[in-house]
Amino acid sequence: MRLFEYQGKELFAKYGIPVPPSRLADSPAKAVAAVDEIGLPAVIKAQVLSGGRGKAGGVALVRSREDAEKEAKRILSLRVASELRVEYEREGEPRELRYGILDDESKALDAGRRN
């Protein structure tokens, strides 16, 4: 099963796992409305089903409404995603957490090992 980040975080919230406040946006105006609602600083993230969005420029930390509009416009212009997740950024906390669920333990790889 492949989920967009926002779908995974909705599942976490449903089962009581804390997640930062966030909103979906499909335009710069909606990204600005999202930061107005959830607060600043915020991270704007392209919603894609593949990795590497940060290296591709699909993630931006914003500290103002103007930055939110500018970065949302820039990320949407990359054409890697048509939807953004605008998430409140708690400064000083880890920026990325990864979770996974395996249905077959024999397929698990040691996280520190690369083939």
| Residue 100 within a domain | no
Pair 54, 67: CB distance under 8 Å? no
CATH number of the domain bearing residue 69: 3.30.1490.20
Domain that holds residue 29: 5-91
**Does residue 93 surpass a pLDDT of 80?**
no
| Residue 102 within a domain | no
| Residue 104 within a domain | no
The pLDDT value recorded for residue 3 is: 85
pLDDT digits (tens, 9 = 90+) for 39-62: 999 999 999 887 778 778 899 999
Length of the chain: 115
The pLDDT value recorded for residue 94 is: 55
The pLDDT value recorded for residue 101 is: 64
In this structure, how many other beta carbons lie within 10 angstroms of the beta carbon of residue 11?
Answer: 14
Highest mean pLDDT of the ranges 11-15, 23-27, 89-93:
23-27
